[in-house]
Amino acid sequence: MYIILIHLHSNFLDMKSSNKDYIIPFEGLKIGKHDFKFHITDAFFEGLAYSIIHGADIVVQFTLNKKETMLIGAVEMQGVLQKPCDRCSEMMEVPVDISHQVVFKFGEEEADDADLFVLPPSTYELDISSVFYELLTVALPNRAVHEEEDCNEEMIDLIDEYATSEKEDREEDTSEDSTDPRWDALKKLN
């Protein structure tokens, strides 16, 4: 067993070329467990136009167990992600602590399991960047917000102002509907 340290420093989902920092050439590895260590930083997310994650400081321990017919990957991630607060839109840090296992099986058929990746028999290396990205995205809470005292007060005041004006507009619309004589005439038909 040996450890390889790889520092991530460039974009990972570039359609023209894959980031070599995330590629593990497993063909030359012996049967058994092999440890890899990655450090995911802001650069991991820079090239992603639609990513809800804008930065990170994550340490990833990836153990690849090579077997005759499959590869089993154990992923351990600890650190923090940066994303906009869902209440005030200011950047906030979200702690991450992930333990997950994925299986890479050789074959031609499609996999129904999200944790099972089917690789063509001619494959000799793994690009695990998309696995890392998916795990980090799924790890985010449905609603991530600062503590109320940490939110941007100007933004909260602006939201309250718009919420109050919309509520008043709806109340005016409802009061106008009840005094419309056409509706009153229709109500008398019953």
Q: Each residue's pLDDT tens digit in the chain (190 positions)?
A: 333 333 333 333 333 234 678 889 998 899 999 999 999 998 888 877 788 898 999 999 999 999 988 999 999 999 999 999 988 888 999 999 999 999 999 888 887 888 888 888 888 999 898 899 999 999 999 988 888 778 888 887 887 787 776 656 666 665 554 567 787 777 777 6
- Alpha-carbon span 158 to 181, nearest angstrom: 37
Query: Which residue type is seen at 101?
Result: Q
Residues ≥6 apart with Cβ < 8 Å to 122: none
Q: What's the pLDDT score for residue 167?
A: 58
Residue 35 CA to residue 2 CA, distance in Å, equals 6
pLDDT at 13: 38
Contact 103, 115 (CB under 8 A): yes
Q: Which two tokens stand for residue 186?
A: 């229709």
Q: What is the pLDDT of residue 71?
A: 94
Closest CA to 55 of 13, 100, 92: 92
Predicted TM-score (pTM) of the model is 0.71
Domain boundaries, the chain: 3-139, 152-188
Rg (CA), the chain: 26
- 3 state SS of 139: helix
- Residue 178 backbone zone (phi > 0: left; psi -120 to 50: alpha; other: beta): alpha
Q: List the beta bridge partners of residue 62.
A: 36, 75
CA distance 130 to 171: 49
What pLDDT is recorded for position 175?
Answer: 55
